[in-house]
Amino acid sequence: MEKLLVTGVAGGVGTRLRKLMKGVYPSIRWSDIRKPDDLAADEEFIAADLSQLAEVEKIVAGVEGIVHLGGYSVEGPWETILQANIVGCYNVFEAAYRAGVKRVVFASSNHAMGFYPRDKRIGINMPVRPDSRYGVSKTFGEAIGALYADKHGLRVTCLRIGNVGDVPLDQRRLAIWLKPEDLLALIRIGLEHPDIRYEIFYGASDNADSWWDNSNARRFGYHPQGNGGEFLHQAMAAQAELPPDPIGDRYQGGPFCSEEYDAGRAG
Ligand code: 15L
């Protein structure tokens, strides 16, 4: 990849990736709605509001590959999700197509599948079960990625990211933790592997109690280095500090499931 664009670079995941990707790819254009505070003089940054197609076309111009992290990263009001994640995601794929971009790696989320119970092991061929408007927007991103791959030949990889961080933060995150270096490995497969057409991978490290069958990623050579189980005691200690959440604790999406939950209402 001669030139890459990474959207959403000022966010939590973007900030970590910026440090890791710099050493791997020689020419990267970073973008976000706001400039990161610690941008170095030799880093290229162009601000863009993803809900504006003309702005997205500017950041996409001249790149071969895109890592699309941008958008709203948690549950939010419908209008926010609609503009940032649905219109924004359409704009990224449409601008990529118009500009002749070859590959897109889309940051989907575990919340596309959040209403599967924790005792169910799921693969990539199960129906989506989003747990929030945010989760629905990620299923939209996966679907529009499939459309641009199948109809226009864009090479698209969707990463259903668990939780990216130095350590797993609680019991749920023990199962879905993604070490930043493992995220980079998944992104590299999406940007470089010759056989990518349209693929979905789970964004998880080699966690002992994972709910996800990530054999598709392994088929493409993914060998995760992280193992959430190494942090079992500190994650369980953090869990013990959390208030009880009977609905969230039942489902993979955790608090995204219990927020606004009133399924009993319909009788
Ligand atoms: C996500 O998709 C969010 O972007 C992130 O902020 C976390 O909430 C993560 O999921 C999670 O499930 O822990």
* CATH code of the domain in which 157 resides: 3.40.50.720
Ligand 1 proximity of 73 Cβ (cutoff 6 Å): yes
Q: Among the options 134, 148, 222, 251, which is catalytic?
A: 134
Number of helices followed by number of strands (H, E) in the chain: 10, 9
Q: Is residue 103 part of a domain?
A: yes
Q: What is the pLDDT of residues 6-40, one digit of tens each?
A: 999 999 999 999 999 998 999 999 999 999 999 99
Contact criterion met (CB below 8 Å) for 118 and 175? yes
Banded pLDDT at 217 (limits 50, 70, 90): very high
Residue at 182 is within a domain? yes
Please check whether residue 221 lies inside any domain of the structure.
yes
Q: Are 232 and 174 in contact (CB under 8 A)?
A: yes
Q: How many domains does the chain have?
A: 1
Instruction: Summarize pLDDT for 132-145 with one digit per residue, the tens.
Output: 999 999 999 999 99
State which residues form the domain around 249. Answer: 4-261
Structural domain includes residue 266: no
- Is 134 considered catalytic here? yes
Distance (Å) from CA 2 to ligand 1 centroid: 31
Token duo for residue 90: 């359409």
**What global pTM score does this model have?**
0.98
Q: Tell me the CA–centroid distance for residue 41 and ligand 1, in Å.
A: 31
CB burial class (10 A; 0-12, 13-18, 19+) of residue 165?
A: middle
Q: Is residue 183 part of a domain?
A: yes
- Please identify, by atom number, the ligand 1 atom nearest to the C-alpha of residue 13: 4
267 in a domain, yes or no? no
Task: Note whether residue 241 is domain-resident.
Answer: yes
b/e for 242-254, b at 16 or more Cβ within 10 A?
A: eeebeebbebbbb
Q: Kindly report, residue by residue over 158-205, the tens digit of the pLDDT.
A: 999 999 999 999 999 999 999 999 999 999 999 999 999 999 999 999
Arithmetic mean of pLDDT over the chain: 97
Q: Is 56 exposed, middle or buried (0-12, 13-18, 19+ CB in 10 A)?
A: buried
Yes or no: say if 29 and 59 are a contact pair by the CB < 8 Å rule: yes
